[in-house]
Structure 1
């Protein structure tokens, strides 16, 4: 198994006002302390945009780059999402990444509200997905679409619309799929050939249900601890890993536990302990798959 980390497990997020943002040196150092040797890049502005500085920083921490999360506005016919992609793509190419993780952004800040698209907007979105996938492929990388709460591809019906209306493969994000109403294990079994990248998240289903009912916003639920270390919540992470491995999955498993930090963590109170717990669980799951 190829296991990587992501800055969101340290509370680093692209949403303005998300919470206290730890610096790159601490995040990358703690990734290595957790035994990780690869990472996604995190949001725009977290790591250097200068590609020479970016590569030097990752190399200095002994971390490879596997990919990066790139929200793009795909549904508007007066906006070219290739412009949103250009800068992050250059960074990912320079860092030696293999995957560009696209999300169908609304164009609004945050993930608590989203518009409803008409058929014409859906056609534009799907066409742009395939066009961006082609741009990414021309640079030697693979684009995947990340179903994500608060974006325009959240529910199972919307995931199916992408599967039938475009050729882009998926990032199987076990947490966002569950919260959006999709059984991630069922999806892994149904369309294994369309899954080229995985974000492994575990979720407190009780808090997820409160998001689904509208009782809590997505942001409120994250702050309340909706995401938990792998193996602690209600997602069958081991079953999903087994299903993917049984179908020849050769992509990266990126461990993510989205957090909102209220301030500078005190000694022994930071995200590292949760990351270590997830690493231990995933190593055990991998042993079970290969034994």
Structure 2
């Protein structure tokens, strides 16, 4: 990789950035029936093969839950763990989201990660629909965000909130409500924000101090518009190729990276291109698009 893109375990120059991979770029997802799930050894070895030395944890069951086995699995591939995606139901009075957090948090601590990426889950599988919250449910959600962030901080990690299609924080109005009603920093997911109706570049400019972690996705805006109109479900759009290699879609990835760097962002840029596989890939498979994204990020940060 280029000298100015650095990963876990490497010294970083003043203008360097920290880049990690994510299993979802290989189609590995927590949603039941999402698609064919590749073997973890292939995913991790291909991740390492494109020059990445760090990853997010992936869904429950992708990596071992036993601490010793988890560390050994990552070490065998020369990978560090930077964080993990943790859906938690936070809007219900009769459910404690700390229970949703407990297991993943222990795994992240065992893996030496620094970030917990929370999503305000609906309580249902998948991301194709979500309920509408009343003010009392919003108050519960916001209070739980700060409570979970405090739990995470007590264990030495940083919690972020990931605006995500099909969760309780999806639209720009939802994002603004979180910014005003809690202190938790954000995971800036450039794809989910765009699909949910937020310009990720504008958000990065408006609240750079609230962004602690980043998922870099590029998006076909035409397909995103069909999700917004209800013509396609989120899952259908992913199958149709809504997420594209960095630099080939309609998100200003270069502009976002530049704005964050100029404002002193010191977090991770996690490469994500959500993918659904129909079966074992022939030829290169998903790693081809990951390689293209790495090459693009190298070019725009050189």
TM-score computed with the length of structure 1 as normaliser = 0.98
Distance 2:273 2:163 in 1: 16
Q: For residues 86-235 of structure 1, what are the structure 2 equivalents within 5 Å?
A: 86-235=102-251
1:285 aligns with 2:300: yes
Matched, 1:3 2:13: no
Residue 81 of structure 1: aligned partner? 97
1:240 counterpart SS class? helix
CA distance in 2, matches of 1:23, 1:100: 24
Structure 1 residue ranges without an equivalent (≥5)? none
Q: Spell out the pairing of 1:17-32 with structure 2 (5 A cutoff).
A: 17-32=33-48
Query: d(CA) in 2 for partners of 1:91 and 1:258?
Result: 23
2 CA distance for matches of 1:52 and 1:133? 26
Q: Distance in 1 between matches of 2:149 and 2:301?
A: 30
Measured after TM superposition, the shift of residue 38 of structure 1 is: 0.2
Query: Where has structure 1 moved over 2 Å in runs of 4 or more?
Result: none
TM-score, normalised via structure 2 length: 0.94
Shift of 1:267: 2.1
Residues 211-251 of structure 1 deviation map (CA, whole Å, 9 limit, x = unaligned): 00000000000000000000000000000000000000000
> When the two structures are aligned, how many residues end up with a matched partner?
286
Of 234, 242, 266, 2:282 maps to 266
Mapped to 1, the partners of 2:151 and 2:300 lie a distance apart of: 36
Q: CA deviation at 1:284?
A: 1.1
SS at match of 2:301: helix
CA-to-aligned-CA distance 1:148-184 (integer Å, 9 cap, x gap): 0000000000000000000000000000000000000
2:276 equivalent to 1:276: no
When the two chains are superposed, the root-mean-square deviation of aligned CA atoms in Å is: 0.4
Distance 1:267 1:280 in 2: 20
- The CA deviation string for residues 27-61 of structure 1, in whole angstroms up to 9 with x for no partner, is 00000111100000100111101111000000110
Output the CA distance in 2 between the equivalents of 1:170 and 1:286.
23
Find the aligned partners of 2:206 and 2:69 in 1 and give their Cα distance.
Answer: 42
Match of 1:242, SS state, is helix
